[in-house]
Every structure is written in C-alpha cells, then in structure tokens.
Amino acid sequence: MKKPHELYSPTGLKVRGGFLTAIKKQNMFRKKGLLTMAVLLGFGGTLKAQQSSVGIKAGLNLSKVSTFTSNNGSTETNATTDYKPGFHAGIYADLGISSILSFQPELQYSQKGYRSTYSVLGNVREISARYSYLDIPLLAKIKPQGTQGGFNLFAGPTVSFLLTQKYTETGKDFTVTSEDREINKDNFRKSDVGVVLGAGYDFGVFNLNAAYNFGLQKLDKYNNDVKARNQTMQVSIGAKF
C-alpha cells in the first residue's frame, strides 16, 4: 500500500517528497543554468571589448649572421658579415587581454642570410647566402594608449623552420652557386629559436612596426668554429580587419 506522501514516476521508481522536491530541484538547476549563461556572456563581452583582430603585414628585412670562423684559402680567419636585404610577409592575430595588453601570434615567410667579402692571393671574393624561414613569433604587446591606438611595444620568443638555403660565391672570373658551402647542408640546423623586440604605431586600421630578431642557436649543429647566429632587422606595414 502506497504511503500518502510517496509518488511513483511513470517508470515505477519511488520519489519521496512529492512534487515540491522536484520543483525545488528544477528551480535550482534553472538558477545554475542562468548563472552559467551570465558568466559566458560576460566573458564573451570582455573579449569583444578588448577589440581582438586579425591582419596582414609585409616589409623589409636586413639580415646577417654573427662573426664566424672561415677558411680563407690557407688559414682559418674570423669572417665578418654585412647585412643582406630581403623581405617578409605574413598574417597575425591581435588578441586583447586587457585595455593595454594583448597577445599577438604571427605566421610569416622571412628571408634571412648575409653578405661577406674576403681575399685569396689578392683576388677579392664575395659571398651571398640566403636562408628562407617560416617564422612563428609569439608576442606580448603593450599599448600605453589602450584601444585608441598610437605607440606600442612588443616582445616575445619566436620559432623558425628552415624552408630553403642558397649560397653564391663570386670572384673575378667565376660565380659558384651551391646549397652546400660554408655551413654544411647536413649540419645546418633546420629550425631556430630566437627573441623578438620591437615597437610600433597604430593609426586606424594600419600599423607601422620595427623589430629586431636575433637567433639563440648556432646555425651549424656540430662545428664549434662556426658560431654564426641569425640577426635580422625588420620594418613592416600592416593592416587589420
């Protein structure tokens, strides 16, 4: 015999406390759902308020490598390098964290390398090396003027993956182009890790940037005499959407 305060569900399961308990539980779940929705809406509104955006950028590279030891025909000498022009182009996302701070990951194609001149028995030879990379900078960006644009500073690590390499040596009566020269192709590091420091200026949907990217790893993995590391100055113009 059923007790007056006991009810049975359509499946035959006993439910104590009647409809009052079920209604209280239903109201509790409804309140939790509304609270969760409010939190999510508030979080979404915060992201929207920080004006996150994506964009494109491109510009000039001036690259060289740090001093390394080179065979000058008869003896080992320290070879200095000059800046070699190139270009970079890619995409970025500016993800707002607060009104003055954002996280900016980038993906860009970047030409690096160096130029150098040396002499063998009075004959001057010129070297031109070109290394092409896929760079992935992960930057923290500080905007003193907030979302109004203006001057900004940025810094962060970058990871680079080698795409191609080319080496050209030119003398008085010859030109040699090779992919395996001063730094042996098999020894050449296929990836690099570096640091980016820079500053920029935002005006409307456009931005101007200047950055210095220096590699932390030697380009040659095994030869201790070759201490060359990538060094790149960049100037770019970008547009956000």
pTM: 0.71
**pLDDT class of 68 with cuts at 50, 70, 90:** low
Average pLDDT of the segment spanning 11-35: 49
Tell me the residue ranges of DSSP E strands in 72-149. 76-79, 84-96, 101-120, 123-142
Position 166 scores a pLDDT of 87
> What CA dihedral angle connects 219, 181, 116 and 168, to 10 degrees?
-120
Q: Are strands 175-178 and 68-71 parallel, antiparallel or unpaired?
A: unpaired
Tell me 28's DSSP state.
H
Q: If residue 21 lies in a helix (H) or strand (E), which one and from where to where?
A: helix 18-49
- Higher-confidence position of 99 and 147: 99
CA distance 236 to 59: 4
Position 20 scores a pLDDT of 47
100 CB contacts (<8 Å, ≥6 apart)? 142, 143, 144, 146
- In the chain the domains, ranked by start, together with CATH numbers, are 6-44 (no CATH), 52-240 (2.40.160.20)
- Higher-confidence position of 180 and 143: 143
Q: Which residues pair with 133 in a beta bridge?
A: 110, 162
Give first-to-last CA distance, the chain, whole Å: 72
Residue 214 has pLDDT above 80, yes or no: yes
Average pLDDT of the segment spanning 14-18: 45
Tell me 220's DSSP state.
B
pLDDT digits (tens, 9 = 90+) for 108-160: 999 999 998 877 777 788 889 899 999 999 999 999 988 778 999 999 999 99
**pLDDT class of 19 with cuts at 50, 70, 90:** very low
Do 109 and 91 touch, CB atoms closer than 8 A?
A: no
